[in-house]
Amino acid sequence: MTEILKLDNIRKTLIRLEETLIFGMIERAQFLSNDVIYKKGAIPIENYNKSFMEHLLEGTEKIHSQVGRYTAPDEHPFSSELSKPIIDREYEWPIKRNAININDRILNLYINNIIPLICKKGDDGNYGSSSVCDVNILQALSKRIHYGKFVAESKYLSDVEGWNKLILKKNKEKIIEKLTDAQVEDKILTRVEIKAFAYGQDPLSDIKEYKIDPATILRIYKEHIIPLTKETEYLYLLERI
């Protein structure tokens, strides 16, 4: 098995992404929800019929695609109109090549569930700044969740026959069950909670005030990030055989 697929190394990446996600959400939480930036056409943009935030997301992805971002096996774009990379970078693909991309679900989840959890409702006019934060978080969420492909490949290789049997039956319930390691999930949640407490408070304040309630960050991991990662693992396994 290649180094990158060792579960320990995968976990290191996932652990590192916790900082990115928590920092990112704390940054976004300084602004109000600014719902208008998520509504198609609410802020009119010439020759464009999606939302203001999506416009920034797609523009950013276009630029990032030029620097080769979406040729990497762990990066997935939200938009379909990308540019050709200006650098040739050959990435190792330790997983099976695939076209699984659940960013449409991640985008929906983010706008409808995560934003209301982390931001106070209202409009402070900081549309640009809020959208810039959104793009950062969405990219990190997408990377975290699609990293499930690496997890799945690693688990698959450790028991090819056992997995093949389950996969052929397309028994989602059993596959998810076999993918689930309750102990590891508990560990993730404990760690995320500790980090949410450490990073979310003002280290100089006597009053324990949090930029985002640590319980909220925990909930986002428990109810959304972990299940969607497993969903990605499942989708990958179906194609893996």
User: Binding residue for a second copy (CB under 8 A) from 45, 160, 184, 215?
Assistant: 45
Concatenating the DSSP letter of every residue in 62-92 gives HHHHHTTGGGSTT---S-S--PPPSS-----
* Touching a second copy, residues 141-200 (CB under 8 A): 191, 194-195, 197-199
Confirm or reject binding of residue 66 to a second copy (CB under 8 A). yes
Confirm or reject binding of residue 60 to a second copy (CB under 8 A). yes
Distance CA 139, CA 145 (A): 10
Distance CA 54, CA 107 (A): 9
Window of 86-94, 107-115, 169-177, 221-229 that interacts with a second copy by CB under 8 A: 86-94
Confirm or reject binding of residue 26 to a second copy (CB under 8 A). yes
* Touching a second copy, residues 199-238 (CB under 8 A): 199, 203-204
CB 43, CB 52: distance < 8 Å: yes
The dihedrals phi and psi of 10, each to the nearest 5 degrees, come to -60, -45
Which CB atom, from 28 or from 155, has the smaller least distance to a second copy?
A: 28
Which CB atom, from 197 or from 213, has the smaller least distance to a second copy?
A: 197
Identify the sign of the CA torsion 85, 86, 88, 91: negative
DSSP single-letter state for residue 35:
G
- Selection from 44, 57, 202 nearest residue 141 by Cα: 57
Chain mean position to CA 92: 21
User: Binding residue for a second copy (CB under 8 A) from 117, 132, 157, 238?
Assistant: 132
User: Binding residue for a second copy (CB under 8 A) from 28, 64, 149, 224?
Assistant: 64
Confirm or reject binding of residue 34 to a second copy (CB under 8 A). no
CB 78, CB 153: distance < 8 Å: no
Residues that bind a second copy (CB under 8 A): 16, 19-20, 23, 26-27, 30, 43-46, 52, 55-56, 59-60, 63-64, 66-69, 86-87, 89, 125, 127-128, 131-132, 136, 191, 194-195, 197-199, 203-204
